[in-house]
Amino acid sequence: MLTANAFAATSATEALSPTTIERRDVGPHDVLIEIKYCGICHSDIHYVRSEWGDAHYPVVPGHEIVGIVAEVGSDVTTHAVGDRVGVGCMVDSCGKCASCRKGEEQYCLEGSTLTYGSIDKDGRVTQGGYSTHVVVSGDFVVKIPEGIELDVAAPLLCAGITTYSPLRHWGAGPGKKVAVVGLGGLGHMAVKLAHAMDAEVTVLSQSLKKREDALRLGADHYSATGDPDTFEKLAGSFDLIVNTVSATIDLDAYLSLLAVDGTMVNVGAPAEPMSINVFPLLLGRRSFAGSAIGGIRETQEMLDFCAEHHLGAEVEVIPADKINEAYERVLASDVRYRFVIDVSTLG
């Protein structure tokens, strides 16, 4: 067992605080990672506040993990000590079901093991990346390509893959009009990635405050959803809408922005249900869909794509004692565009 310094939530209402956790011994298939940076995803906040159901406390959140391999198990051939690596939202899956065989471990029919808050094979609850070390099966570890700094790579492990996967699945590319709703951690990566795929990108943000940023990130157009004219002006415009909003929104208003045969894919995961009026779907053969992160193979593909296109996240690196403040700023949509914890500050 290795003792790691960490930051944990002990209840839905208390601030996160320093602690120590035990990591398992490195097994034959495992990799020990010395964590350098970990991004703060809005999902961490939903989870630790038990917005998605009761969390397992104490919990160390964090699933945008990057670091350096410190030790490998005897059967690991794909990673070596000193490698720059990453771990995203999953640390295991059944490996046998139809989804796993397709490399879509996120849709494992038995349920994948999430990086934190899941029951692991040894019966212990998994603990995430706000921590100095983690032990993970080598099959769930990806390589950070040369050319991407570790701090800007961290958010790619969740925000990057969660937006890359639906953009690829629904064919974002030349001639496609893509709208991104919400310019936060996921949204800003969606803009960068869709732009790099040569789609025509529109940002739909609550106000005009982020306009300059959006254009700099690669958006071709920008509209404020607080302005009711936006919905009239853009009716029937988009082939694909990627909704990254962490709260409920008026889906009917956004569905009417789709062109005929267009798809709105929800990656945002608000706690409360949202209702849909079917008429905007019927009148235009439109689709409403969802998408969860991406498989390990596709995560590596996304990282290689980012390296090729010189893409990383826009980050604000913070010490561990600023995590609680960062949570409040994320909740106030005041993040530009991902907080990343400098794990060396965990001591």
* Residue ranges binding Zn ion (CB under 5 A): 41, 43, 93-94, 97, 100, 108, 158
Q: Could you tell me the smallest distance in angstroms from the CB atom of residue 93 to Zn ion?
A: 5
Taking CB within 5 to 8 Å according to partner kind, which of ligand NAP, Zn ion, none is near residue 94?
Zn ion
Taking CB within 5 to 8 Å according to partner kind, which of Zn ion, ligand NAP, none is near residue 113?
none
Taking CB within 5 to 8 Å according to partner kind, which of Zn ion, ligand NAP, none is near residue 93?
Zn ion
Distance in angstroms (rounded) separating the CA atoms of residues 198 and 154: 24
- Give the residue, chosen from 46, 79, 177, 286, that forms a contact with ligand NAP under the rule CB under 6 A: 46
Q: Could you tell me the smallest distance in angstroms from the CB atom of residue 255 to ligand NAP?
A: 16
- Give the residue, chosen from 32, 35, 136, 245, that forms a contact with ligand NAP under the rule CB under 6 A: 245
Residue whose Cβ sits closest to ligand NAP: 184
Q: Could you tell me the smallest distance in angstroms from the CB atom of residue 270 to ligand NAP?
A: 6
Cα torsion at 199, 205, 207, 210 (round to 10°)?
Answer: -60
- Give the residue, chosen from 134, 249, 257, 313, that forms a contact with ligand NAP under the rule CB under 6 A: 249
Regarding 263 and contact with ligand NAP (CB under 6 A), the answer is: no
Question: 121-152 as b/e, with b when 16 or more CB fall inside 10 Å?
Answer: eeeeebbbbbbbbbbbbbbbbbbbeeebebbb
- Number of H helices and E strands in the chain, helices first, is 11, 17
Q: Could you tell me the smallest distance in angstroms from the CB atom of residue 13 to Zn ion?
A: 22
Regarding 286 and contact with ligand NAP (CB under 6 A), the answer is: no
CB-based contacts of 115, cutoff 8 Å, min separation 6? 62, 63, 65, 87, 88, 89, 90, 91, 126, 128, 129
DSSP 8-state class, residue 176? -
Regarding 330 and contact with ligand NAP (CB under 6 A), the answer is: yes
Contact (CB, 8 A) for 119 and 104: no
- Cα 163–chain centre separation: 8
For residue 273, give the amino acid letter: P
| C-beta of 226 vs 319, nearer to ligand NAP | 226
Taking CB within 5 to 8 Å according to partner kind, which of ligand NAP, Zn ion, none is near residue 245?
ligand NAP
Contact (CB, 8 A) for 342 and 37: yes
Distance in angstroms (rounded) separating the CA atoms of residues 40 and 327: 8
Angle at 328 between CA 318 and CA 201, to 5 degrees: 80
Taking CB within 5 to 8 Å according to partner kind, which of Zn ion, ligand NAP, none is near residue 263?
none
Regarding 184 and contact with ligand NAP (CB under 6 A), the answer is: yes
Taking CB within 5 to 8 Å according to partner kind, which of ligand NAP, Zn ion, none is near residue 97?
Zn ion
CB-based contacts of 83, cutoff 8 Å, min separation 6? 68, 69, 143
Regarding 246 and contact with ligand NAP (CB under 6 A), the answer is: yes
For ligand NAP, the binding residues (CB under 6 A) are 41-43, 46, 158-159, 162, 182-187, 205-206, 210, 244-247, 249, 267-270, 291-293, 330, 333, 335
